[in-house]
Amino acid sequence: MASHHSEPLDPAADADAPSDNNPELPCPPYHIVTKPGQLPVEFLEPSAAQKLVIGFDCEGVDLCRNGALCIMQLAFPDAVYLVDAIEGGKELIQACKPRLESDHITKVIHDCKRDSEALYFQFGIKLHNVMDTQIAYSLIQEQEQEGKKKTSDDYNYISFVSLLADKRFCGILYPEKEEVRTLLRQDPNFWAIRPLSDMMVRAATDDVRFLLNIYEKMMEKLSKVSLWRLAVRSELYCRCFCLNDNQFADWSPLPPVPDDIEAAVYVPEADILSVLDVPPGKMGRVIGRKGSTIMAVKESCNVEIHIGGAKGPPDRVFIIGPVKEVRKAEAIFRGRMLEF
């Protein structure tokens, strides 16, 4: 029988485990979930009257459309729930589908693209109502650097480890993350091993337990316009690698411009997601030497550019940004693909 824990993790139990580096954020109790009934009632029965915000992440074997999802982490203010997809099977993850697609539960996650891809292709779940901290960070940077010339660093995506280290949001070091990466390189099936080791539980818990605190601090800094842009771009991140034949017609509509934004405030053009097909043998020209073409397009068009890489899809470029800037980026890439 799968275990169902409620006791706090003991940092001394495993010298290799991530320690609690922030005394204000004690390590919460955790529960290993193998049946839907072990999940909190407020998660199972979301409502407009009792909206919920949770930290969210997924772990898997080379997580993507084909890489198996093994654990789904849900962080609540009082505990972390580790939803075990190996022990609980597809039925357990399917039971979470209405909640992961719900308007009434905000899912706080750092870079949701691959998590959303795995949920969509493996379980038919269209992840919705996400607050992506990677996007939020970039929007806060934009606000604080308004009027200043952007540097090449401004076009890079912040890692979760770097976000945790930023004193504005959390201010802790997380060197143990690299230890987990080393274990994954040694054994790509690390997250599929059962029973879950103390190290696995701690690593999975640490990936979500700070997210609600980060969320609160970020929400205080974001303007109304930035909050709208965050909502739109987070939805586009969810769709990014989830290609389908109906142009996402069966996904929730993108958030409209809120009515409470003052008329005098400048509201930028809404972001879109464009998927550009790349002919065989042309991806190198699209990327450029050490990513030089992609970086140049980011800087000149002010768009986000993502490629599938080794996990795929290998023959497409994903561009997110305002319509005019996206069309400009598409034209540059098409020109590169026509070069001999």
Collapsing DSSP to helix, strand or coil, 208 comes out as coil
DSSP SS3 for 8: strand
Strand, helix or coil for residue 177: helix
In the chain, the amino acid numbered 212 is L
Domains of the chain and any CATH numbers: 30-145+154-236 (3.30.420.10), 271-339 (3.30.1370.10)
What was the pLDDT predicted at 25?
A: 65
Render pLDDT for 41-55 as a digit per residue (tens, 0 to 9).
Answer: 999 999 999 899 999
**For residues 327 and 249, what is the distance between their CA atoms, to the nearest angstrom?**
21
Q: Which amino acid is at 111?
A: D
User: Over the stretch 238-251, which tens digit does the pLDDT of each residue have?
Assistant: 999 998 888 899 99
- What are the tens digits of pLDDT across the range 147-184? 676 665 666 799 999 999 999 999 999 988 889 999 99
96 in Cβ contact with 88 (< 8 Å): no
Band of residue 219 on the pLDDT scale cut at 50, 70, 90: very high
> With contact defined as beta carbons under 8 Å apart, do 105 and 129 qualify?
yes
Task: Kindly report which listed range (4-18, 126-140, 174-188, 191-205) carries the lowest average pLDDT score.
Answer: 4-18
The Cα 24–Cα 204 span in angstroms is: 20
**CA 134 – CA 55 distance, rounded (Å):** 14
- Residue 74's pLDDT is 98
Angle (nearest 5°) at CA 134 between 241 and 40: 85
Question: Do residues 117 and 64 make contact, with C-beta atoms less than 8 angstroms apart?
Answer: yes
pLDDT (tens digit per residue) in 56-110: 999 999 999 999 999 999 999 999 999 999 999 999 999 999 999 999 999 999 9
- pTM (2 d.p.): 0.90
- Measuring CA to CA, how many Å separate 237 from each of 22, 61, 337? 30, 21, 25
